Amino acid sequence: MKKIKTGFIRTSVLILSMLSSGLAAAEIAVVVNPVNRISALNASQVRDIFLGINKRFPDGELAAPIEQGSKTTEYSSFSHKVLGYHTSQLKAYWASKIFTGKGAPPPQVENNEAVKNFLHNNPNGIGYISKDAIDPRVKVILLLNGHS
């Protein structure tokens, strides 16, 4: 019995460390259309836009946030690092906003490429992608390293 319990604990610790290192290692870039006048935002400003607290960029332009699908690594990492919520907590946050008529979550697209396509067609768009997916179609305004 003791061998089974010890094996279970070791396996659990290994799985948890793999999961946490995967989340911790994810580098996320908050990006906008290259024509957007904003050159940088801090994590608090990005959080307020994505939680619907502030609907405008600091220059007064309307912000159009776009999120990745809730099953992506980018979504989980962004939700935790910037919004301060785990995915289930974020769902509850938006359910409350919808129920009270005080807001709705940003639309979701399936992956990094879809975020870049959205931003290409929306000068006031703001989204997030994996650091590895950065290309000239987007401008990075905040980079979240793996240890944020």
pLDDT tens digit string along 83-142?
999 999 999 999 999 999 999 999 999 999 999 999 999 999 999 999 999 999 999 999
Mean pLDDT (whole number) for 68-90: 94
Q: Which of 113, 137, 44 has its CA nearest to residue 82?
A: 44
B/e letters for 9-32, b = 16+ CB within 10 Å, e = fewer, are: eeeeeeeeeeeeeeeeebbbbbbb
Whole-number percent of the chain with pLDDT over 90: 78
What pLDDT, on the 0 to 100 scale, is given for residue 14?
Answer: 42
What pLDDT, on the 0 to 100 scale, is given for residue 19?
Answer: 45
Contact in structure between 130 and 115 (CB atoms under 8 Å): no
Rounded Cα–Cα distance for residues 112 and 98 (Å): 26
Length of the chain: 148
What pLDDT, on the 0 to 100 scale, is given for residue 30?
Answer: 98
What pLDDT, on the 0 to 100 scale, is given for residue 145?
Answer: 82
pTM of the model: 0.81
